[in-house]
Structure 1
Amino acid sequence: MNPDIVRWSYAAASGALLALAFPPYSVWPAAVLAPALLLRAMRRAETPQQAGDLGALAGFLFAALSMPWLRFVFGPFAAGLWAFFALGPALFGVLLKRLQGRGDWLWVAAAGVLWAGMEAARAHLPGLACPWLSLGYAFAPAGPLLQAASVIGLYGLSAAAVAGGAALALAAEGKRIPAGALAIVAGLAWGLGERRLELKPQGRPVSVALVQDESYDVERLAAMTPRDAELVVWPEYQAGVPGGMVDRYREHLAGLTSGRKGVLVVGAATVDEQAPFENFAWVLGSDGALLGRHDKQHPIPFMEGRLKGHSDPRPVATPLGPVGVQICYDLDFEDGSRRLASRGARILAVPNLDPASWGPLQHSQHSGMAPLRAVETGLWVAKAASSGDSMLIDPRGRVTARLGFAGRGVARGTALLSDGGLTPYVAWGWLVVPLSLLALAAAVADALFGALRERAFLVYPPSPLGVEAES
């Protein structure tokens, strides 16, 4: 068969398999098999540019098949966003091809590290930051393997998946030692993960209520709020606060929700176009007093352009203990929840807004990210979404209470708040992103210098005169 047809077929199949790894299918083994197909195609590529083209095809198909709902949000401009997602795999292909031939073990390790670096770069690109569909999120349904996130985090899972795919690509060439070694590591990780799942979370039980409603009507949400819950979370943007009336509005809200015995976390925003736009959450005591406030850390690209992100999240002291707050898109990133955990948070409260008009696929993909934050931090996550999925998640990533897409009501459950130690990832995870970005930058520099050397050789080839003179 024509080698070009084989390469492009592998790349296309890889893009389709990557989509299969995520909701609504959630076939998590595809997160390893898809990179294997792509890397098999890249190894057969004749040039780095061709390897980059194969990566671009796989990346575009992956994004288009996984996120057709972007058309509901951005219309025809969705194709541009799918193309943006293709840039990372394209760069990955170019860089990795240049490392081929420098040793199989180096190539396998570089595949994992460069993919993680590519995802981290996409999540930190100014104005376009987006961690959506990072490969590690595909392991949310794989309970035992998911527990590795408590040590290596989201990008560590992504790196492990792609390194596993690289080892399988080598095995297809008869080089089976890397695949065998990584299979042993995966087996150990699975066994240790099962043991971690058997350990029951410990701590003081706290009753939690997650109010799910997309009316933006505070009186309606106040009527839905259970008075007996110790922690109540409302969705994002539900309280529209007029400019210059912050204190009066909060007092009004305290009156509407009087009679509560616990802490209330309210998603709010300013509605005065003349004032700076603010997206924040109030944390209110049982008497309506303001205990603290969290301002959204990560604005959504193209949607919250007026919003200035808050870069220093801190837990709010409450009668329940320190409560960490993340607002919607904040929870998609690993940095905010990790910082809050390192600063003593005992639970993460998450006001969230996903409009029902975006459809169930968008909701299921967004909901699939939250378990990673619970495992990374070792904290319970209480997420109240406007139209689903509202979820209470334990520190092992298991959903203990849920209200699904387009439902209206209250999801109730019990969280266990403990003063337990930090997960390894909370302690050292701050190193992961800088190191992966540094590795990516080093590979880019190596590729650039290599290309310059090759160009200089073509422009000024060695003279054969010296050879003739010696002979």
Structure 2
Amino acid sequence: MALSRRLLLATLSGVLLAAAFPPYHFPYFLPLALAALLKALDGATPRQGFFVGLLSAGIHTGATLFWLSNLFAAAVLPLCVILSLFPILFCMLWARCQSVLPRVATAVLWVGLEFFRAEPFVLNFGWPTLGYAVAGRPVFAPLTATLGVYGISSLVVALGTLRGRALAITTALWAVACLIRLPAPVPERPLTVLLVQARSGDEEALFEQSAGAKADVIVWPEHAFHSDPRQPGRFRFNNFWPRLQALAKSSGAHLVLGAHVARQGEDPEKIFDNAALVLTPTGELAGIHVKNHPVHFLTDGVASTVAKAIPTTLGRIGTPICFDNDYPEVDRRMVQDGAEVFLVPNMDPDEWGPVQHAQHSLLFAMRAMENGRWLARADVDGGTSAVAPNGVEVGHVKNGEPQTLMVRVGRTTHRTLYGLGGWVFGPLCLFGALGCTGFGLWKGRRASP
């Protein structure tokens, strides 16, 4: 096959991959994206595989992650290059080893590299992971609740290995599955949750919108307080803890809120715990969760390694904070500790842009689907929403203005197959990818004259 035709197929692959994610969000032909990529690699040399991967991954990452420039300006270019290295590596390895590896190895190699990019790798950024393209599509909930986001990715790649009529039929079935809309399940043991949206640090707006609330739980955004509200402020009106206790008592609700908790002996402006505090209706502190995954390159607190559910009279609740939900393990560990529902302080500010907001919502939906839990999050600018265990969104604010959203969410104690062991699928694919690569390189070398 001429290099020009390979590059044409790589371009088609990159366009279809990008189209599957917001702001386009057209995942109906995602298997064709992989089919085009694999066709471009048929009989290719590793050098040709490099150019095929570079073009496909460059289009995919550039057309979907351009919003990172809102955070990192020109540094978005090296970031996209780094994230593209993994699909490029896949293309080079598959070009080298495809003649001696079975077809099933395609999905193992792809998912293994996806998993490494999203979790063990130093940047651990998984937003381009294929499975997220259909987060919130309830038909995929059973597979997601079994093998998680990487199970969806493996299905996409497996379908992409098909050819001819088989590919056409399965792609049509995939598109139909993406189009099917199902209702959210009826909440079990329902809770009424008031999600309060206001700008980070605008404490007065948060108090004002929460006054007189009739809810079981009130959730405020991440960074609601840029200091520890339990500590007296420099001025009298900054003594927030008594006001929070009074709000809890007057509303009869639990409060979940984001705050900075100072670390002893450190500058609280630079080094702090980014925490979710939970207050009981009597004004007592029920527990604290400290963010496990601060946002890269930003002043976002010191990473914790503890992910526990917080016991309350409403049951055990999980309070993963914003970026924690970008990683499957935090929510999963909270469910292992008994979390019955996720109540999330979140911060996706306006300056990060609507594309970031839309893409981030897919990750929250995926965590709900993997763990079979309701998830409600209070954001600072338009992301305030709630998701059912099958990924269906049951409520969302209309804009980024300060406002509230009242939702009913369920509580459940059952564990999905994903939580019981299916989560190891990603790590197993990584080890499988290493094994396939080693075997393929060894076998290919032996077959060489």
Taking structure 1 as the reference length, the TM-score comes to: 0.85
Between the two proteins, what is the percent identity of the paired residues?
Answer: 32
Once residues 102 and 350 of structure 1 are traced to their aligned partners in structure 2, the CA distance between those partners, rounded to angstroms, is 47
What letter is aligned with 2:417? P
> What's the secondary structure of 1:102's corresponding residue?
coil
Once residues 11 and 88 of structure 1 are traced to their aligned partners in structure 2, the CA distance between those partners, rounded to angstroms, is 15
How many equivalent pairs are there? 439
Once residues 188 and 363 of structure 2 are traced to their aligned partners in structure 1, the CA distance between those partners, rounded to angstroms, is 24
Q: How far apart are 1:449 and its partner, in Å?
A: 4.2
Of 280-289 and 145-154, more deviation after overlay is shown by: 145-154
Q: How far apart are 1:135 and its partner, in Å?
A: 0.6
What residue is the counterpart of 1:423 in the other structure? 416
RMSD over aligned Cα atoms: 3.0
What residue is the counterpart of 2:122 in the other structure? 127
1:63 aligns with 2:61: yes
Gaps of 5+ in 1: 462-471
1:225 to 210, 229, 250: 210
What residue is the counterpart of 1:287 in the other structure? 282
What residue is the counterpart of 1:464 in the other structure? none
Gaps of 5+ in 2: 234-238
What residue is the counterpart of 1:42 in the other structure? 41
What residue is the counterpart of 1:411 in the other structure? 405
What residue is the counterpart of 2:95 in the other structure? 97
Q: After the TM superposition, which residues 321-360 of structure 1 pair with which residues of structure 2 at under 5 Å, given as runs? A: 321-360=315-354
> What's the secondary structure of 2:357's corresponding residue?
helix
What residue is the counterpart of 1:432 in the other structure? 425
What letter is aligned with 2:26? V
Deviations, residues 79-110 of structure 1 (Å, cap 9, x unaligned): 1111112111011112222332236xx22x22
> What's the secondary structure of 1:240's corresponding residue?
coil
Q: How far apart are 1:246 and its partner, in Å?
A: 8.1
Once residues 244 and 88 of structure 1 are traced to their aligned partners in structure 2, the CA distance between those partners, rounded to angstroms, is 45
Once residues 131 and 290 of structure 1 are traced to their aligned partners in structure 2, the CA distance between those partners, rounded to angstroms, is 34
Once residues 332 and 69 of structure 1 are traced to their aligned partners in structure 2, the CA distance between those partners, rounded to angstroms, is 17
> What's the secondary structure of 2:311's corresponding residue?
coil
CA contact (8 A) 1:52 1:89 kept: no
Once residues 23 and 320 of structure 2 are traced to their aligned partners in structure 1, the CA distance between those partners, rounded to angstroms, is 25
What residue is the counterpart of 1:24 in the other structure? 23
What letter is aligned with 1:54? V
Q: How far apart are 1:181 and its partner, in Å?
A: 9.9
CA contact (8 A) 1:137 1:372 kept: yes
1:310 aligns with 2:304: yes
Once residues 13 and 181 of structure 1 are traced to their aligned partners in structure 2, the CA distance between those partners, rounded to angstroms, is 19
Q: How far apart are 1:205 and its partner, in Å?
A: 1.8
What letter is aligned with 1:22? F
What residue is the counterpart of 1:210 in the other structure? 195
What residue is the counterpart of 1:446 in the other structure? 439
Deviations, residues 310-347 of structure 1 (Å, cap 9, x unaligned): 22311100111000111111111111112222221110
What residue is the counterpart of 1:6 in the other structure? 5
Tell me: CA distance 1:242–1:229, structure 2 relative to 1, closer, same or farther (3 Å).
Answer: closer
1:265 aligns with 2:256: yes
Q: How far apart are 1:450 and its partner, in Å?
A: 5.7
Once residues 220 and 443 of structure 1 are traced to their aligned partners in structure 2, the CA distance between those partners, rounded to angstroms, is 56
What letter is aligned with 2:439? D
> What's the secondary structure of 2:427's corresponding residue?
helix
> What's the secondary structure of 1:301's corresponding residue?
coil
Deviations, residues 402-443 of structure 1 (Å, cap 9, x unaligned): 114423211111112234x21111111231232011112223
CA contact (8 A) 1:331 1:370 kept: yes
What letter is aligned with 1:43? D
> What's the secondary structure of 1:29's corresponding residue?
helix
CA contact (8 A) 1:7 1:44 kept: no
2:267 to 263, 274, 296: 274
Once residues 166 and 246 of structure 1 are traced to their aligned partners in structure 2, the CA distance between those partners, rounded to angstroms, is 62
> What's the secondary structure of 1:278's corresponding residue?
strand
Q: After the TM superposition, which residues 191-206 of structure 1 pair with which residues of structure 2 at under 5 Å, given as runs? A: 200-206=185-191
Q: How far apart are 1:37 and its partner, in Å?
A: 1.0
1:140 aligns with 2:135: yes
> What's the secondary structure of 1:38's corresponding residue?
helix
Q: How far apart are 1:24 and its partner, in Å?
A: 2.1
2:387 to 388, 393, 399: 393
Once residues 115 and 405 of structure 1 are traced to their aligned partners in structure 2, the CA distance between those partners, rounded to angstroms, is 38
> What's the secondary structure of 2:324's corresponding residue?
helix
What residue is the counterpart of 1:164 in the other structure? 159
